[in-house]
Amino acid sequence: MNTDTKNGKGGSVERLFVGTAEAEHVEMYLKAIWHIKEQGRSVKITTIADMLHIKQPSVVQMLKKLNKKKLVNYNKAGVKLTKDGERIGASMMRNSRLLEVLMVSALKVDINEEMVCGIEHHMNKQFTDALCTMLNHPRICPCGNDIPLGECCISNSQKEEQDQPAP
């Protein structure tokens, strides 16, 4: 809750956040493309449509938007993430997989993909790194997939190396 805003009675007013559906759609497409690529599969319109459970014309429309935003290179040869698209896709997968670890190992609840999807879009770097640190920088999610490294993981590895006794 943000307490910077005062109501007419001198108390604080709770601020609510409304995200944009467009931003979440962009992130989901980039996450899907990243995941398809991670699996070693060809990133095609049909593959994306199947993964996201949407119709192919909708995929084409979004890929054109992502191409204009320079998040993908989309042409007849296929779909490839740009550097920015790769960064966002990896970040979304990292968020998802860390949330899955949180649910299974810390909260002891079954993974709820709908809940994960609802939360992952609202996680910033600070939150993600704090969650990762709290979970001791897990490398594998409960489904057996790699969790993309964050800066906190790299810093932690370097610290652990420094803490090792010299041979």
DSSP characters over 122-143: T--HHHHHHHHHHTT--SB-TT
pLDDT of residue 102: 97
CATH of the domain at 123: 1.10.10.10
| Amino acid residing at 59 | V
Question: In terms of residue numbers, what domain contains 36?
Answer: 21-85
94 and 79, same structural domain?
Answer: no
- Can you read off the two tokens belonging to residue 27? 């992130």
> What average pLDDT does the chain have?
88
Residue 10 lies in a domain: no
Whether the per-residue pLDDT at 1 is higher than 80: the answer is no
Number of domains within the chain? 2
94 and 149, same structural domain?
Answer: yes
Q: What is the pLDDT of residues 47-59, one digit of tens each?
A: 999 999 999 999 9
